[in-house]
Structure 1
Amino acid sequence: MRDFQTPGRSAVRTTQGMAATSHPLSTLAALDVLREGGTAMDAAICAAAVQAVVEPQSTGIGGDCFVLHCPGGGERVLGLNGSGRAPGGASIEAMRGLGLTEMPGFGPHSVTTPGAIDAWFRLSADHGRLPMARLLEPAIAYAEDGYVIHDRVAFDWQIAAPLLAQDPASAAIFLPGGHAPRIGDLHRQPALARTLRSIAQHGRAVFYEGALAQAMVAHLRSLGGLQDAADWAATRSDAVTPISTLYRGYRVHQVPPNNQGLTALVMLDILSGFDLASLDPDGPERMHLEIEAARLAYADRDRHLGEDGGISDRLLAPDHAPRLRAAIRPDQRIETLPQTALALSDTVYISVVDRDRNAVSFINSTYHSFGAGITCPETGIIFQNRGASFRLDPAHPNALAPGKRPLHTIMPGMLTKDGQAIMPYGVMGGDYQPAGHAHLLVNLLDYGMDLQQAIDHPRAFHDGRAVQVERGVPARTIAGLQQRGHEVTCAAEPHGGAQAVWIDPARGTLTGASDPRKDGIALGY
C-alpha cells in the first residue's frame, strides 16, 4: 500500500472494463465506447484516433501502429504489424546520389508510408463491434470544435517549435500566431477534421487510393520525395506470430522484428539470472544490473535487428542470455561494448480490457515529435519519419531497400500466465522502451509494487554515452553508479510514459494505471 502522506495517486480498480491512455480525452472516449458495448479493440481505435488530434506531437494518422490482442482473456496472443514501408524508389544508391551518407532525421526522405489507418480498419473488421464512423466521431469533433492543450503536450510542442517553423504548412497549423500553443489554449485542426470525416464516410480506400492519397503523395513529391501512388496503394498490415520469454513465472509477449520488442525479451532473459528481489529497488546495485543488461541487449539490437524475423530464435536461444550475463560485473561497468546513440521520441500507448476480458495492447506513433516535420496542407496529416531508422550500410539487417520496413521502436507488451491474459502494458519513449518494459516488470514481479507505484518509480536510461537519471533517483544511487564507472547526468526530460491494466482472474477485477510523466489517466466502470 502506498504512503498516503506523500505525493502520488492510487491505481484505478473496477470489474467491467478499463482503459488507460496518456490523455484524459482519449481515456474518456475509450470508456464511452466500452460502456456502449464496444469491444476493447473498438475502444483502443477510438482512443488512438482522439490522440491523433489532441497529442499531435506524439501520434497521427500519418504514422504506424502495432497491436497485441488476447481474445476473451485467454493465453492466445494475436499480433498485428501495422508499420509502413520505404518508397519503391528509395534505395541506398538513391540516397547516396543525393549526397547523403546517412538517413536524414526529418524531411521527405525520412517518410515511410503510413500503416495505421489500414491497421485500424483491419482490426475493426476482425475484432470490433461498432462501425468505424462511430469510432472516429470524438476525434472529428475535437479537430473541428477544438481541444484544450494539456501540460505535457504543451511541453513537447514547445521543444518541437523550431522544426515546425521550417515547414509552412506545419507552421500554419501548429504555430498559430507564430508560436506553439500554451497550456490551456484552445487549438483546432479543421483540415484534419475534414480528412477524418472523409475516412469515416468512405473507408480506408480514400486514404490509400483516393483523394487523400493523391494529396499526400503530391505534396511529398513537391518537396523532392520519392513516394508515388503505388506505395500508398500497396500498404497492408500483417498478422504476425508474437515472440515471448518466461520471466518469474509469467510469459512476456512482444511483436517480432522489424519491431524492437525482442530487445526487451533479451534483457529480461539476462536479468532472470540475478536475485533482484534481494536488492534495494532504489539502490545502485539494482540499477547497475538493469543498465548493463540493457547495454548488452541494445548492442544485440543494433547488430542484428531489421525486417528479417529469423533472428528471434537465435537471440532467445537458451544459451544466449547466459553468455551475455557472464560479462556483467556487479562492481564495474562493461568497458568493451560499442558506443551507440540512443534517443527518446514521442508515442502514444493504449491499454484496454473489456467486460469479455478481451485484452488489447495498442501503440501508435509518428516517431519523433511531429514526425518528419512535414504536414500535408490539404489533409492536415503529419507524416512520420520512420525512414530515419534505416541504415545506408548494405550489409546491415536494417539497410534501406525499396518497399522494406524499417526497425521500429514502438512496442506493445502483453503478460500471460496459466492460460490467461494478465496485463496488456506498454512504455513509450523511443529507444528507451525495451529498458522501460524491463524496469516496469521488475518493479511488479520482483519487488511486488502496486501497478501505479511500478509506473511512477524513478527511471534511468543509458543513452549509449551516459546514464540519464530522472530527478527521483536517490543521490546515493547516483554515487554508486559513478563508483561502478558510469558517467551519470540528469535527464532533461522524463523517460517515456506507461499505461497498463492488470487482470486478476481469481477475483474478477481490473486494476489500471497511467504514467504521471504524461497527462493521462486510467478509468474503468
Structure 2
Amino acid sequence: MRDFHAPGRSEVLSTEGMCATSHPLAAKVALDILGRGGNAMDAAIAAGVLLGICEPQMTGLGGDCFVLFNRAGETTVRALNGSGRAPAAASAEDLRARGLATVPLDDPEAVTIPGAVDAFCHLSEAEGRLGIEALLQPAIYYAETGVPVAPRVAHDWSIGAETLQGAARDHYLIDGRAPTTGQMFRAPGQAEVLRRVARNGRDAFYEGEIADDLLAALNSRGGIHSATDFHDTKFIEASPVGSDYRNAELLEHPPNGQGATAILLLNILKHFDIAGMDPWGAERAHIEAEATKLAYDARNRFIADPDHTSRMEHFLAPETAAKLAELIDPRRAMTAAAPLTEAVHKDTVYVTVVDRDRMAVSLIYSIFHSFGSGIASEKFGILLQNRGCGFNLEPGHPNELGGGKRPMHTIIPAMLKQNGQIAMPFGVMGGAYQPTGHARLVSNLLDFDLGLQHAVDAPRVFADGSILKIEPGYNRRIAQQLSDLGHNVVETETPLGGAQAIRIHQSGVLEGASDPRKDGCALGY
C-alpha cells in the first residue's frame, strides 16, 4: 500500500471496462465508446486517433502503429503491423553517393509512407463493432473545436517546434509560437481528412486529394514518393514473439518493431539474482545497464523488416542470452556497445483498453521524432513521420534503406500472460528506451512485487549509448556509485518514458495505472 501522506496516485479499479493512456480526453472518449456498445478495439482506435489532436508532437495521421490484441473469449494474442514502407525508388546507395552516413532527420528521405490509417480502418472492420465513421467522430469534434494544450504537451511542443518547416509552422504554431499550457489548438484540415476517411474509408487517405496533398509536400522538396507508394500501403498480420520470466510470459510485437529486444534483455537478466538486489540500488541499475548495452547491440545487428531478417530464432534463444550474460562484469561497466542505428527520440503515444468481455488491446502510434520530419501537407496539415531514420546505410545490412522496405521501429506494444491467461496489456513510451522500460516494469512487478502504480512511478535509468541516463528519483550516492563503476552518469532533464498498464485480475477486477511523467490517466467504469 502506498504512503497516503506522500504525493502520488492510487491504481484505478473497475469491472466493466478500462482505458489507460497519456491524455484524459482520450481516456474519456475510450470509455464513451465502450458505453455505446463498442469493444476494446473500437475504443482504442477512437482514443488513438484523438491523441493525434491532443498530442500532435507525438503522433498523427502521418504516422505508424503496432497493435497486440485478443478476441473476446480467446487467450490467443494477435499482432498487427501498421507500419509503412520506404518509397519504391528509395536507395541507400544514392544517399551514400551524396556523402551521407545516416538518413537525414528532416528531409523527404526520412519519410516512409504512413501506415496507421490503413491499419485502423482494417481493425475497425475486422475486429470492431461500431464502424470507422463512429470511431472518428470524437477526433473530428476536437480537431474542429480545439483542445486545451496540456502541461507536458506544451513542454514538448516548445522543444520540438524548431523542427517545423514550411506549411507545418502555419498548422502547428499559434502566431508563430508554440502554444502554451491552456491555449486552444485546432486542426480544421485534419478534421476534414477524418470526415473523408469516415465516409469513404482508407482509400480516401491513400488516393485522391489527400494523397496528392501529401505527395506535393514531399515532391516539392525533392522526395521520390509516388502515388503508387501510397496506394499500395498495406498492414501485415503477424504472431507475437515471447518468452517466460518468473512464471509469466512476456509477449511482444515481432520485427520490424524492436519488441524482441525487451525479451532478450529479460533473458539476460534471468542469469542474475535481480530479486535479491536493492530495487533502487546501484547493483541493479548497473546490471540492467550492462544487459541493455548487449541487448541493444544485438538489436542493431539483427532487427529489420521481417522480409529481410532471419535471425530471430537465434536472437531469442536461451543460449544467446546466456553467452551475453557471461560478458557482464558486476564490478565494472563495459565500454559502450555499438551506437544506435536510429536517432534516440521520446515521441510516441500509447493506449490500452480492456472491455467487459475481456478483449484486451495494446496499441502504440507514433510519428517518430517530435513533430516527425517537420514536413506537413499544405492544405490539410498532416505531419509526416521520419521513420526512415530507423534505417541504416550500411551495405548489405538487413536494416539497410531500400525501396519498399519497412525500417526498424522503436515503438512496441506488449502483453503479459500468467497461467495461460492474458494478465496485463501495457506499454512504455519513450523511443529507444522502450525495451528497457518494458523489462524494468516487468521486473518491478515480478522481482519486487511492487504495486502496479508504484512499479510505473519508480525511478528509471537507461544506458543510452555512451552515457547512463538517471532520473532525479535516484539519490546522489547511487549516482556516485554508478560513476565509480565506470558509467558516464548524466541526470536527465526529460523523464524516461511514460507507462500505461491494465491488470486483469481473476476476480474480475480491472486495475489500471498511468505514468505521472505524462498528462494522462487510467479511467474505468
Q: Which residue of 2 aligns with 1:300?
A: 298
Q: Describe the superposition over 1:128-152 as per-residue Cα deviations: whole angstroms up to 9, x where unpaired.
A: 0012111111111111011100001
CA distance in 2, matches of 1:338, 1:379: 40
Q: Which residue of 1 aligns with 2:122?
A: 122
CA distance in 1, matches of 2:83, 2:512: 27
* Cα drift, residue 187 of structure 1: 1.3
Cα distance change, pair 309–72 in 1 and its aligned pair in 2 (3 A): farther
Cα distance change, pair 316–394 in 1 and its aligned pair in 2 (3 A): same
Letter in 2 for 1:275: D
Q: Which residue of 1 aligns with 2:477?
A: 476
SS in 1 for 2:72: helix
SS in 1 for 2:330: coil
* Cα drift, residue 370 of structure 1: 0.4
Q: Which residue of 1 aligns with 2:244?
A: 246
SS in 1 for 2:481: helix
Which residues in structure 2 correspond to 1:48-59 (within 5 Å)?
Answer: 48-59=48-59
CA distance in 2, matches of 1:515, 1:178: 31
Q: Describe the superposition over 1:418-474 as per-residue Cα deviations: whole angstroms up to 9, x where unpaired.
A: 221100000001100000000111111111111111111001111101111111112
CA distance in 1, matches of 2:94, 2:32: 48
SS in 2 for 1:122: helix
Count of residue pairs the alignment pairs up: 522
SS in 2 for 1:71: coil
Q: Which residue of 2 aligns with 1:214?
A: 212
Please, what is the CA RMSD of the aligned residues? 1.2
Q: Which residue of 2 aligns with 1:519?
A: 519
Cα distance change, pair 124–340 in 1 and its aligned pair in 2 (3 A): closer
Letter in 2 for 1:262: A
Letter in 1 for 2:277: L
CA distance in 2, matches of 1:370, 1:322: 40
Q: Which residue of 1 aligns with 2:70?
A: 70
SS in 2 for 1:177: coil
8 A contact 2:261–2:435 mirrored in 1: yes
8 A contact 1:283–1:476 mirrored in 2: no
8 A contact 2:293–2:336 mirrored in 1: no
Is 2:122 aligned against 1:159? no
Q: Which residue of 1 aligns with 2:110?
A: 110
Is 2:453 aligned against 1:428? no
SS in 1 for 2:427: strand
* Cα drift, residue 234 of structure 1: 0.6
* Cα drift, residue 518 of structure 1: 0.6
Farther off after superposition, 66-75 or 115-124: 66-75
Letter in 2 for 1:195: V
* Cα drift, residue 303 of structure 1: 1.5
Q: Which residue of 1 aligns with 2:401?
A: 400
SS in 2 for 1:410: coil
Which residues in structure 2 correspond to 1:16-35 (within 5 Å)?
Answer: 16-35=16-35
SS in 1 for 2:318: coil
* Cα drift, residue 241 of structure 1: 1.3
8 A contact 1:161–1:180 mirrored in 2: yes
Q: Which residue of 2 aligns with 1:379?
A: 380
Q: Which residue of 2 aligns with 1:149?
A: 149
8 A contact 1:106–1:388 mirrored in 2: no
Q: Describe the superposition over 1:294-352 as per-residue Cα deviations: whole angstroms up to 9, x where unpaired.
A: 11100101122211342211111121111011111222112373354762320001111
CA distance in 1, matches of 2:477, 2:346: 29
* Cα drift, residue 29 of structure 1: 0.5
8 A contact 1:73–1:359 mirrored in 2: no
Letter in 1 for 2:15: T
8 A contact 1:289–1:330 mirrored in 2: yes
8 A contact 2:23–2:521 mirrored in 1: yes
From 162, 170, 178, the counterpart of 2:176: 178
Which residues in structure 2 correspond to 1:79-90 (within 5 Å)?
Answer: 79-90=79-90
The gaps in structure 2 that reach 5 residues or longer are none
Q: Which residue of 2 aligns with 1:36?
A: 36
Q: Which runs of 4+ in 1 moved over 4 A?
A: 339-342
8 A contact 2:192–2:380 mirrored in 1: yes
Using the aligned pairs only, state the percent identity.
49
The gaps in structure 1 that reach 5 residues or longer are none
SS in 2 for 1:381: coil
Is 2:232 aligned against 1:231? no
Letter in 1 for 2:345: L
* Cα drift, residue 380 of structure 1: 1.5
Is 2:304 aligned against 1:338? no
* Cα drift, residue 224 of structure 1: 0.8
Cα distance change, pair 73–457 in 1 and its aligned pair in 2 (3 A): farther
SS in 2 for 1:216: helix
CA distance in 2, matches of 1:238, 1:181: 37
SS in 1 for 2:407: coil
Letter in 2 for 1:81: N
CA distance in 2, matches of 1:54, 1:478: 36
Q: Which residue of 2 aligns with 1:273?
A: 271
